Each structure stands twice: as C-alpha cells, then as structure tokens.
Amino acid sequence: MFFYAYILESESNPARFYAGFTEDLQDRLRHHNDGSTPHTAKFRPWRIKTAVAFSSRQQALDFERYLKTPSGRAFAKKRL
C-alpha cells in the first residue's frame, strides 16, 4: 500500500495550487473535481501536477505538511 502527498494545479486558474494527502489518488482527484471538497471547489477543474508515493503514512503526511509551509511552496515551485 502507498500513501501520496500531491500537488494539484487548477486548470481554470493555473496560478492556483493545492497540496494534499491521500491513499487513493484518482478517487481524491474525483472528489476535488466534483466540488465535494469545499476548499478546492471554486477553482475546479484540477489536474495532478505532482504526486509522490510513500510506503509510510507518516512520511507522506509530513511531506504534505512541509509542502504547505512557505519553504515547501518555494521548493515545489522551483523543483516540482
């Protein structure tokens, strides 16, 4: 089983990104795009920009948390 930290990019507003965590990447993307996730509903549709798979749930959660910090956003913008 894998755990994913991911970055979504809005197709309607490419300057908008969202970082998250999931165990089922395709199902989570469907939820973001069907509007059932309030935080991302306004800027749908979304596409997966980057997804990193981890065998450890905690490592995936830690990386997601990092991506949501100012240094994590800078890292993602430059490297991912």
Structure-block tokens of residue 28: 């989570």
The predicted-structure confidence for 22-80, as pLDDT tens digits, reads as follows 999 999 999 999 999 999 999 999 999 999 999 999 999 999 999 999 999 999 999 98
Query: What own/partner pairs with CB < 8 Å and gap ≥ 24 does 26-34 have?
Result: 28/4, 32/8
Domain coordinates of the chain in residue numbers?
Answer: 3-79
What CATH number labels 3-79?
A: 3.40.1440
pTM of the full predicted structure? 0.93
Burial of residue 5 (CB within 10 Å: 0-12, 13-18, 19+) is: buried
